Amino acid sequence: MLNIGLTGGIGSGKSTVAQFFKNKGAYLIDFDVLAHKVEEPGGPAWKQIVEEYGSEILNKDATINREKLGDIVFQDKKKLETLNGIVHPAVFKEWVHRMEEIKKEKKDAIVISDIPLLIEVGLQKYVDLVILVYIPPEEQIERIRTRNGFTREEAEYRLHSQMPIDEKLSFADIVINNGGPLEETRKIVEKYWPELLEREQSKRKRETEQ
């Protein structure tokens, strides 16, 4: 099994690139989905979040209102750090569990974990390879404005809560430039796919030789 961390910046195209890899046969683990799962009522992070931010952030059905929570934490760095301190360990546990399940199912799986804050959180040491999906910051703002309907100010705020994408470049083993048309990005993914299969094979060979 090859364990790949896919990252980028908000709106750079991680989900898009992850889908292209899935089409080639990769298993996907989406950290946003994991985060949702641990924040569900009864999930490992739910109670702590309610204790920290109060029941005002809940919907009528006891689920967390992510918009309300987002409004609180994206305006206050300390509060965002506190939330991350609750959610990240729970997500990490869920991630490890999911990888174990995949390994049982397919020992030669290529696993692509879509991890928005991979570098900020320092998860590089848990993956075999870091793939960065890159577009210039100005284009990130345009794409999230289109996707989420944000004002320029809202888009910039969210962008600035992350490490600038240009600083992430030096952490990447592979950079996928998603600044061009989608078809071009798909071709880049197809070009890298055989290399990932080879890396998986040689990793497994090393492991069995040990």
3-class DSSP state of 68: helix
Is residue 177 involved in binding ligand ADP (CB under 6 A)? no
According to CB under 6 A, which one of 1, 3, 6, 14 is a site residue for ligand ADP? Answer: 14
Is residue 8 involved in binding ligand ADP (CB under 6 A)? yes
According to CB under 6 A, which one of 24, 88, 143, 186 is a site residue for ligand ADP? Answer: 143
Cα distance between residue 83 and residue 69, in whole Å? 9
According to CB under 6 A, which one of 39, 109, 185, 189 is a site residue for ligand ADP? Answer: 185
Is residue 5 involved in binding ligand ADP (CB under 6 A)? no
The residue range among 48-56, 63-71, 89-97, 178-186 that interacts with ligand ADP, by the rule CB under 6 A, is 178-186
CB 31, min distance to ligand ADP, A? 10
Q: Contact 110/197 with Cβ under 8 angstroms? A: yes
Site string for ligand ADP, 32-51 (x = CB under 6 A): --------------------
The DSSP symbol for 98 reads H
Is residue 162 involved in binding ligand ADP (CB under 6 A)? no
Closer residue to ligand ADP in complex, CB, 107/160:
160
**Sequence-distant (≥ 6) Cβ neighbours of residue 203 within 8 angstroms:** 2, 128
Q: By 3-state DSSP, what share of the chain in percent is helix, strand and coil, each rounded to 5? A: 60, 15, 25
CB 173, min distance to ligand ADP, A? 18
Is residue 98 involved in binding ligand ADP (CB under 6 A)? no
Which DSSP string corresponds to 3-48? EEEEEE-TTSSHHHHHHHHHHHT-EEEEHHHHHHHHTSTTSTTHHH
Cα distance between residue 209 and residue 92, in whole Å? 29
CB 81, min distance to ligand ADP, A? 21
Q: Which residues pair with 111 in a beta bridge?
A: 3, 27
Is residue 147 involved in binding ligand ADP (CB under 6 A)? yes
Give the footprint of ligand ADP on this chain (CB under 6 A): 8, 10-16, 143, 147, 178, 181-182, 185
